Chain A
Amino acid sequence: ETGVTQSPTHLIKTRGQQVTLRCSSQSGHNTVSWYQQALGQGPQFIFQYYREEENGRGNFPPRFSGLQFPNYSSELNVNALELDDSALYLCASSARTGVYNEQFFGPGTRLTVL
């Protein structure tokens, strides 16, 4: 167990709806990254938050947005859901205290879009 928690575990939505996924980072970590893992694929980087500011973004449209709160927990919001958004969404937290800072992953949220 990494100490990174995500909620909910599973979620079913219909096309066009909006969804919010939540992540609690490991104690002492100030950076949260979000990844999308489609079935049979490796995770793809969505964006990263450091001290409540977006600090890098992958190749995802603006309908993917996020927040980081003062306690360093984070939300991923997806608007206008599409069928291809069905995936496992992973968050990872890290400390950014030195040269190397390992990212610790949560168990993920499985999103199904019908």
Chain B
Amino acid sequence: AQSVTQLDSHVSVSEGTPVLLRCNYSSSYSPSLFWYVQHPNKGLQLLLKYTSAATLVKGINGFEAEFKKSETSFHLTKPSAHMSDAAEYFCVVSPMNYGGSQGNLIFGKGTKLSVKP
């Protein structure tokens, strides 16, 4: 069975400081992993994806994540937070190595990111 665990339900940072959102995954085979962002009253937006290519994945808006198989982790980082980054972030695993459209997406419980001025 596949699952993801987001280690923090809420992270608060100051504008201009680094962001770290932590995610551990469990999968019986090589997974596809994603980070999605959800702004209030808006749909989910894909930030970045890992599908067994480069382990350091760059996404939109300056976010990146590193796949570490030995640690079963896929943490999301950004060097400098912006006020517009305040949102809910979801770590997601797909049980099939097709990026999700041929299978379901399994979401973590989410991490709410707050950015203080």
* Chain A interface (Cβ < 8 Å from any Cβ of B): 2, 4, 31, 33, 35, 40-45, 48, 56, 58, 90, 92, 94-96, 99-103, 105-108
Contact = CB atoms under 8 A, between A and B. Distances in A.
Contacts of A103: 100-101, 105
B101 A43 contact: no
Contact of A42 (B90, B102, B104): B90
Nearest to B9: A40
Contact of A45 (B43, B46, B90, B106): B106
Contact of A102 (B90, B100, B110): B100
Contacts, number: 70
B41 A107 contact: yes
Contacts of A40: 109-110
The residue among A42, A92, A103, A107 with the most chain B CB atoms within 10 A of its own CB is: A42
DSSP class of B's interface residues: helix, strand, loop or mixed?
A: loop
DSSP class of A's interface residues: helix, strand, loop or mixed?
A: loop
B31 to A, nearest CB: 13
B114 to A, nearest CB: 15
B107 A43 contact: yes
Contact of A101 (B101, B108, B109, B110): B101
B49 interface: yes
A94 B34 CA distance: 15
Interface of B: 32, 41-46, 49, 51, 90, 98-110
Nearest to A43: B107
A96 B108 CA distance: 24
Contacts of B100: 94, 101-103
B104 A105 contact: no
B90 A100 contact: no
A35 to B, nearest CB: 8
Given A41-B109, A42-B109, A43-B107, A101 B99 contact: yes
Given A99-B99, A100-B51, 4 more contacts: A4-B43, A95-B101, A102-B100, A107-B43
A94 B32 CA distance: 16
A101 B98 contact: yes
A75 B104 CA distance: 18
